[in-house]
Amino acid sequence: MEYLPNICFAIALVIGIGYFAKNVKKLIRNINLGREVDLSDHKGQRWRNMALIALGQSKMVRRPVAGILHIIVYLGFIIINIEILEIIIDGLFGTHRIALKILPRSIYGFLIGFFEVLAILVFVAVIVFWIRRNMIKLQRFWKSEMTSWPKNDANYILYFEMVLMTLFLIMNATDIQFQELGSGNSISQFVAMGFSNLSDGTLHIIERSAWWLHILGIFGFLNYLYFSKHLHILLAFPNVFYAKLTPKGQFNNLEAVTREVKLMMDPNVDPFAAPIPDSEADIPAKFGASDVQDLSWVQLLNAYTCTECGRCTGECPANQTGKKLSPRKIMMDTRDRLEEVGKNIDSHKGEFKDDGKQLLDDYITREELWACTTCNACVEACPVGIDPLSIIVDMRRYLVMEQSAAPVELNNMMTNIENNGAPWPYNQMDRLNWKNE
């Protein structure tokens, strides 16, 4: 019985980390369903972007209130959880605050005291976030795509963080040995006043209960991430690293089409010569994308990284003028479809069985795709380098090049360019008629 708590802790640790590792493996599998793209270039610039945008959160602070609060929550939560190392050692070996035997008392006290201050700051920031989301009701949090689950998911995380910070302070406040140190209890000493009338035995029970709930809560939070928009806590770094480096207005031309156009415009190429074999021209199996497997792995990584913050949708001119397009919904739909495909593969022993559905039409409508002005406002607004426009453009390519399903207006424009050398329905000889009026 003496080692029962240690055994229980070891079991909880193995289950928590094991389930997390299983989900990470599934996550990587799903992302790798996308097309392969080579993004090994400009590594120096990519590392700088990751340091500035993902770690430094330079794009978050463009909106100072939300940005500063987010930095407090992010850094506070990460730094406080450094103490998990001590908790794990104590849980496995039955020690109590093992770091006190390793670090000088003053240093240990400073660290825990600093953690406690951060815990209060995180708690306050989370409350402000809750008020902004549920009482002030910022418009971008209440768009049509923010159905019950996305709204509840955001609140669940806020409740999670409040509870974990509270348990951390209660754990310290009811630890008689720690409070007697007189060092490091910068906040918990005031919390301890609320427990001053309790016996030592009762305090020990409360301390142990808070300790267990705190670490089990962290294990639960870790495994909840896979099912939550807060997966960006882990994926923001690789997502920013592999983000697009070329100018935002520069589109990625299809190599096979570019090669064909160059051959057609080359005066040295015989137009009556035999065509280049498909193997040499590297013709893709499908132009554009109609389902998630047609997208690149970076686009699928984007989908999983989406924070659902709505900054992209808030900046979208199409959305602001009442169009159905929401860049956030594009990313959410892509992720939902990818999850559906992943579950299909799981249920069919590693093979995808056609389910009669696809990303186009079943998740993202054509009206949404053609509402986009390709202005890149959504890409510029995203704090973690997500590119909804690339998915929209690839799906448009599929509609035009595979289904010849461009809108009438676009077909008219392309016909005019072909016949008149301009988008307008006027003969080239009539272009300067306005001068004579």
Helix axes 232-241, 297-305, angle to 10 degrees: 140
H, E, C per residue of 380-401: HHCCCCCCHHHHHHHHHHHHHH
Q: Enter the tokens of residue 128.
A: 């402000």
CA distances from 428 to 101, 415, 437 (A): 87, 14, 17
- Domain extent listing, the chain: 4-31+63-241, 255-406
User: What integer pLDDT is reported at residue 286 of this predicted model?
Assistant: 85
Round to whole Å and give the CA distance between 119 and 162. 9
Round to whole Å and give the CA distance between 161 and 413. 54
**Cβ-based neighbours of 291, under 8 Å, separated by 6 or more:** 337, 341, 358, 359, 360
Distance separating the N- and C-terminal Cα atoms of the chain: 101
User: What integer pLDDT is reported at residue 428 of this predicted model?
Assistant: 77
Residues 279, 280, 282, 283, CA torsion sign: negative
User: What integer pLDDT is reported at residue 88 of this predicted model?
Assistant: 93
Round to whole Å and give the CA distance between 80 and 314. 33
User: What integer pLDDT is reported at residue 255 of this predicted model?
Assistant: 77
Q: What is the pLDDT along the chain (437 residues), one digit of tens a residue?
A: 678 889 999 999 999 999 999 999 999 999 999 999 989 899 999 999 999 999 999 999 999 988 999 999 988 888 888 888 999 999 999 899 999 889 998 899 899 999 999 999 999 999 999 999 999 999 999 999 998 899 899 999 999 999 999 999 999 999 998 888 887 888 999 999 999 899 999 999 999 999 999 999 999 999 999 999 999 999 999 999 999 998 888 888 877 777 777 777 777 766 556 555 555 556 667 889 999 999 999 999 999 999 999 999 999 999 999 999 999 999 999 999 999 999 999 999 889 999 999 999 999 999 999 999 999 999 999 999 999 999 999 999 999 999 988 888 888 888 888 888 888 887 777 777 766 65
- Nearest-CA neighbor of 119 among 82, 156, 66, 65? 82
CA distances from 110 to 107, 115, 123, 214 (A): 5, 9, 20, 21
User: What integer pLDDT is reported at residue 410 of this predicted model?
Assistant: 86
Residue-wise burial string across 318-357, b where 16 or more C-beta atoms lie within 10 A, e elsewhere = bbeeebebbbbbbbbbbbebbbbbbeebeeeeeeeeeeee
Phi-psi region of 10 (alpha: psi -120 to 50; beta: other; left: phi over 0): alpha
Are the beta carbons of 33 and 359 closer than 8 angstroms?
A: no
User: What integer pLDDT is reported at residue 417 of this predicted model?
Assistant: 86
User: What integer pLDDT is reported at residue 274 of this predicted model?
Assistant: 54
User: What integer pLDDT is reported at residue 424 of this predicted model?
Assistant: 82
Domain 255-406, what architecture?
Orthogonal Bundle (1.10)
Residues 396, 398, 403, 404, CA torsion sign: positive
Are the beta carbons of 27 and 304 closer than 8 angstroms?
A: yes
User: What integer pLDDT is reported at residue 404 of this predicted model?
Assistant: 87
Round to whole Å and give the CA distance between 258 and 416. 21
Are the beta carbons of 335 and 303 closer than 8 angstroms?
A: yes
User: What integer pLDDT is reported at residue 89 of this predicted model?
Assistant: 93
User: What integer pLDDT is reported at residue 271 of this predicted model?
Assistant: 56
CA distances from 236 to 83, 97, 242 (A): 23, 33, 10
Count CB neighbours of 104 within 10 A: 9
Residues 193, 194, 198, 199, CA torsion sign: negative
CA atoms within 13 A on the CB side of 374: 12
- φ/ψ (deg, to 5) at 197: -90, 0
